[in-house]
A and B are shown apart, each in its own frame.
Chain A
Amino acid sequence: QSALTQPASVSGSPGQSITVSCTGTSSDVGGYNYVSWYQQHPDKAPKLMIYYVNNRPSGVSNRFSGSKSGNTASLTISGLQAEDEADYYCSSYTSSITYVFGTGTKVTVL
């Protein structure tokens, strides 16, 4: 299975909104509403930010939101803050009853 495609980097100024894309196929992202997003700070374990495309776990800021159109899912961070600077990974369930991660995106707060 091939990794989902994400941009290598996205940047924005404090207070701005940014969007990270995650492109797959009809066998994963496009076929199921089982897309999740993870935030990973350096030398830390990933943290779940979004599940089922657009659901936030308890405790995750409402500045994080998710969406999907066709084979592409997106994570939007609004009101960008310095603490949001991290790597972000998407993940999707697949038709092979497996999961696949995205290539990862480094978000930089300018």
Chain B
Amino acid sequence: QLQLQESGPGLVKPSETLSLTCTVSGGSINSYHWGWIRQPPGKGLEWIGTIYYSGSTYYNPSLKSRVTISVDTSKNQFSLEVSSVTAADTAVYYCARYSNSAGDYWGQGTLVTVSS
């Protein structure tokens, strides 16, 4: 059974860079697209971006200038960086596998709070 697990700091200071990693187990990261989605407390889902295992990336236009998604196939991991964070970036961040143009496997999510 495929499993995804997000990891990274739960607290980030304003203006710094948020960094998260998603570790994929029970299957290979090779093939499929892999994505990041976030959900501010009490609000809806926001698609951040996806990466193909070969490295091609696609980003939400509203976040594109601050977001980088990368993949490390040797570690079966993919990562997210969001630069110059503000309180508005406080959210639960999910990683997911995209198959048939939908997120079919999701991580449990990790809360990242932006605060000094």
Complex Cα distance, B62 from A98, in Å, reads 11
Chain-A contact segment, one of B13-21, B45-53, B79-87:
B45-53
Residues of A within 8 A of B44 (CB): 3, 89, 101-104
B32 within 8 A of partner (CB): no
Within 8 A of A (CB), among B73-96: 94
Q: How many residues of B contact A (CB 8 A)?
A: 23
Total A-B Cβ pairs within 8 A:
64
Beta-carbon contact of A51 and B45 below 8 Å: no
Complex Cα distance, B102 from A90, in Å, reads 10
Chain B positions near chain A (C-beta within 8 angstroms): 35, 37, 44-47, 49-50, 58-62, 94, 100-104, 106-109
List 13 additional A-B contacts (Cβ < 8 Å) besides A45-B108, A47-B106. A1-B62, A3-B44, A38-B103, A46-B106, A48-B104, A51-B102, A51-B104, A89-B45, A91-B45, A96-B61, A98-B47, A98-B58, A98-B61
Chain A positions near chain B (C-beta within 8 angstroms): 1, 3, 34, 36, 38, 40, 45-48, 51-52, 55, 57, 89, 91, 93, 96-104
